[in-house]
A and B are shown apart, each in its own frame.
Chain A
């Protein structure tokens, strides 16, 4: 049975899980607790929180984030292509050219629309 090969991994993962749970629970139960306002703040030795994080953001942030994701994901296609571009020769090159050209049309579109202008 092939599944038997995975038994050591299963044991390893289970032990890791149990170890982590036991340690964190143990420190919660046995550790000393002396809370003060400074300790309970969000970032104990960081910046002072000014106000709540749950407020309205300008839609510009979402737009930039969305466009970033769009163009960032394309890199996922470029990496495997770069690894085999020698074997694919001209065919692979032209395919990628078409792919990038379509992307470029989208880029020119958002540029002309002013989606990347901040103010």
Chain B
């Protein structure tokens, strides 16, 4: 047994992120007041990893004896997750200073979380799925409680940890049962056995547990209870990366196991996924209406979006799979952007998080008003922005797979969701702000991140084929 150069090339991107995280950890503890330095170090590392993922993208294959995917699919998700990481870094530095918790450890933990997400989305073996999931989750548990003097942050961390550990147990038990019935944890091997003979019933118990674990991580009904409290309590940039990078990694592994390996898992699994999808869309959209706190509203909206993405998974056809990948890219840009604007408006002690705090903002601060409107219109699914095409692809896939009812539920839910997204816009432009409301100075890095996200939302909305041509050959 030995490691070849191609093995190392296959994990180059995730390797760069991990090594950067280790160096950043030492830099953070040896140098005084090094938070800024660590942030730039992390940004440089992630940019390097992005270049590595881009460079290895054309050569799809596996590395380390078929344990891990290299290039292609893995590179695509690597680049997506690195985008989420870079945007989070840019938005976080000023937010952390405002809240008085600007420590280098924040950036180190985000880097570790990013490396876990990348590993999870590159899994060719159930063990790697588990490994990546744990690296990601443990980092996110810590990040959720990063503001350790704030009660809500601690509550978010504890809730996420307890429920997350339980869900990981589900997932691991599912892996054990699948290993027990199929004799391998290798996804390609499982696919071969699954295709050659009907698996024993115990296999379906394992697959069900695995499904529960994944549904928890993507925040789909009926495993969504943690989402609102955790997104509300976590520091805002953390909610941003949790809802985008974390979701992308979980969906990447979900797709690898259930669609690529099990071919959709048959009609029963597809129906189950469709039910999860419908419940998520309706629950998320309806409960979000009643929210006053913007972070909590976005948490319920995130449940609804998990439902839209699950629609593509339930359809399990080529359009649905590409649609989910497209949706994840679109969702990453628009959701990190929205959380970014919220993190700028938010003041210490969890102030300025309600709808009414946005009154008159669009006229007072034109830049924030315009980018926020772009993100919200995209989340609502209004053409020509990215969110519209994401929904279009997954609903078209559902119709193709003879699940027209699911597409109808989705369209109705997304009509409901327009209400609460546009309500923010209405507050921003059609309500008078309070007398003498202060104008928030927008930091340079934050505005760069918002501009990049807005450009992403508009760009891939106007040219959806740019993403589809990247993902078309994966399936």
Residues of chain A touching chain B, judged by Cβ–Cβ distance below 8 Å, are 88, 91, 102, 105-106, 108-109, 112-113
Does A105 lie within 8 Å of B2, measured CB to CB?
A: no
Which one, A88, A91, A102, A112, contacts B22 given CB within 8 A? A102
When chains A and B are docked, how far (Å) is the Cα of A102 from the Cα of B112? 13
Complex CA–CA separation, A109 to B1 (angstroms): 33
A109 to B25, CA, bound (A): 7
Q: Which residues of A contact B25 (CB under 8 A)?
A: 105-106, 109
Residues A91 and B26 in contact, CB atoms below 8 Å apart: no
Contact in complex: A91, B3 (CB < 8 Å): yes
State how many angstroms separate the Cβ of A109 from the closest Cβ of chain B.
Answer: 5
Q: How many residues of B contact A (CB 8 A)?
A: 8
Contact partners of A112 in chain B: CB under 8 A: 29-30
Q: Which residues of A contact B30 (CB under 8 A)?
A: 112
| A108, B3: Cβ atoms closer than 8 Å | no
**CA separation between A105 and B29, bound complex, in Å?**
11
A109 near B3 (CB under 8 angstroms)?
Answer: no
Judged by DSSP, the binding face of B is helix
How many angstroms from the CA of A88 to the CA of B3 in the assembled complex? 12
Which B positions have Cβ atoms within 8 angstroms of A? 1-3, 22, 25-26, 29-30
Apart from A91-B2, A102-B22, A105-B25: 14 A-B pairs, beta carbons within 8 A: A88-B1, A91-B1, A91-B3, A105-B22, A105-B26, A106-B25, A108-B26, A108-B29, A109-B25, A109-B26, A109-B29, A112-B29, A112-B30, A113-B29
A87–chain B nearest beta-carbon distance, Å: 9
Chain A residues closer than 8 Å to B22, beta-carbon distance? 102, 105
> How many Cβ-Cβ contacts under 8 Å join chain A to chain B?
17
A102 to B21, CA, bound (A): 11
Residues of B within 8 A of A109 (CB): 25-26, 29
Question: How near does chain B come to A92, taking the closest CB pair, in angstroms?
Answer: 9
Q: Which residues of B contact A105 (CB under 8 A)?
A: 22, 25-26
Residues of B within 8 A of A102 (CB): 22
Chain A proximity of B148: nearest CB distance (Å): 12
Chain A residues near B26 (CB-CB < 8 A): 105, 108-109
For the complex, what is the distance from the CA of A116 to the CA of B22, rounded to whole Å?
20
**For residue A106, which residues in chain B have a CB less than 8 angstroms away from its CB?**
25
Residues of B within 8 A of A88 (CB): 1
Give chain A residues whose Cβ lies under 8 Å from the Cβ of B29: 108-109, 112-113
Show 17 residue pairs from A and B whose CB-CB distance is below 8 angstroms, ordered by the A residue: A88-B1, A91-B1, A91-B2, A91-B3, A102-B22, A105-B22, A105-B25, A105-B26, A106-B25, A108-B26, A108-B29, A109-B25, A109-B26, A109-B29, A112-B29, A112-B30, A113-B29
**Complex CA–CA separation, A108 to B1 (angstroms):** 32
Closest A-chain residue to B1, C-beta based?
A91
The closest CB in chain B to the CB of A106 belongs to B25
Report Cα–Cα, A109/B26, bound state, in Å. Answer: 6
Cα distance A104–B3 in the bound complex, in angstroms: 23
A100 vs chain B, min Cβ distance (A): 13
Assembly CA distance A109 to B22 (angstroms): 10
Q: In the complex, what residues of B have CB within 8 A of residue A108's CB?
A: 26, 29
Residue of B whose beta carbon sits closest to that of A88: B1
Which B residue's beta carbon lies closest to that of A90?
Answer: B2
Q: Tell me which residues across on chain A come within 8 A of B3, comparing CB atoms.
A: 91
A106 to B28: give the CA distance in the assembly, Å: 12
Give the CA-CA distance A102 to B26 in the complex, in Å. Answer: 11
Min Cβ gap B49→A in Å is 18
Complex alpha-carbon distance, A106 and B26, angstroms: 9
